[in-house]
Amino acid sequence: MNEMGLDLTGKVALVTGGSRGLGKAIAMAMAGKGAHVVICGRKQENLDQAVADLHEKGVEVAAFRANVGLPDEVANLFQSIEARFGKLDILVNNVGMNILTPSVAMADDGLWDKIITTNLKGTFLTSRGAVPLMRKVGRGKIINISSIAARKAAMGMGIYCVAKAGVDMLTRVLAVELAQDHITVNAVAPCMVRTQFSQPFWSNESLLKQIAAGIPMGRIAEPDDVVGTVLFLSSDLADFVTGEIMTVDGGAMA
């Protein structure tokens, strides 16, 4: 076993959607372990804000604007990373979104494409983009942020559930395809995490109580509850773990 454990010194890590929420917490934790961290997102103002917030906490990250659902922007993102750092060791596919809608009675058919593209195709595009840079290093770690919604249908989140189920299978498929390259591919599946994404749920006190009642540990997750598992999977400690979906849910799925 590598005694350095969770040390990420000298590693280059891309955290997609690192400008707020869970991605920002992961970016901060990885930088704290010595990694050179790159974040990306669609909106420059969110990236600027995140870079400034993290700088105030003594953490320096690089930020590149990119929509993970758009192949050209993903290609530019990896070109920028190669130009700046020359390699990539870790990819955290953290971008995810949902628009609350029933599936069958969906008012706008475009929602299907938007939700599937952002959550699933985006995870594929960035993984595909990362592989050549990881092959240069001779190894790599891909960690996909899935959800317990991949295994448990939730009202208003049907398309998101389907997309995240796709992310789980993509995790297994890429784990098998990339094992020979010493690139591990795993996923982390949280329950509700207190971020902007889930605010409509946790900001309603009675709804929050109802959700917490379904979680044996009696509360929803904070971003920091999820970070440790992502760090583990991105470290040398997890070198022989691949194709795994690690649930971080206070026992909700137990």
Ligand X SMILES: NC(=O)c1ccc[n+]([C@@H]2O[C@H](COP(=O)([O-])OP(=O)(O)OC[C@H]3O[C@@H](n4cnc5c(N)ncnc54)[C@H](OP(=O)(O)O)[C@@H]3O)[C@@H](O)[C@H]2O)c1
Restricting to residues 85-114, name those near ligand X by CB under 6 A. 94-97
Q: Applying CB under 6 A, which of residues 19, 127, 186, 229 lies at the interface with ligand X? A: 19
CB 18 within 8 Å of CB 50: yes
In whole angstroms, how close is the CB of 88 to ligand X at the nearest point?
A: 17
81 Cβ partners below 8 Å, 6+ apart?
12, 14, 38, 64, 88, 133
Q: Which is nearer to ligand X, 46 or 235 (CB)?
A: 46
Chain residues 175-194 in contact with ligand X, contact rule CB under 6 A: 190, 192-193
Tell me the site size for ligand X, rule CB under 6 A: 30
Told to check if 22 binds ligand X by CB under 6 A, we report: yes
Instruction: Catalogue the active-site residues.
Output: 160
Distance CA 72, CA 168 (A): 25
123 counts as binding ligand X under rule CB under 6 A? no
Q: Is residue 158 at the binding interface for ligand X, with CB under 6 A as the rule? A: no
Rounded to whole angstroms, what are the CA distances from 53 to 36, 59, 61, 222?
17, 9, 10, 18
Give 215's strand partners: none
To which residue do tokens 């590693």 refer? 11
The rounded distance, in Å, linking the Cα atoms of 249 and 188 is 10
In the complex, the smallest distance separating the C-beta of residue 138 from ligand X, rounded to whole angstroms, is: 28
Stretch that binds ligand X, among 18-26, 28-36, 83-91, 236-244 (CB under 6 A): 18-26
Kindly state the tokens that stand for 171.
Answer: 């995790």
- Give, as ranges, the residues between 218 and 247 that touch ligand X (CB under 6 A): none
* Chosen residue from 9, 180, 196, 206 binding ligand X by CB under 6 A: 196
Identify which of 35, 68, 240, 26 has the alpha carbon closest to the alpha carbon of residue 139: 240
Give the binding range for ligand X (CB under 6 A) out of 17-25, 77-85, 135-143, 169-177: 17-25
For residues 52 and 135, give the distance between their C-alpha atoms in angstroms, rounded to a whole number.
32
Please give the residue ranges that form the binding site for ligand X (CB under 6 A): 16-17, 19-23, 40-43, 46, 67-69, 94-97, 118, 122, 145, 147, 190, 192-193, 195-198
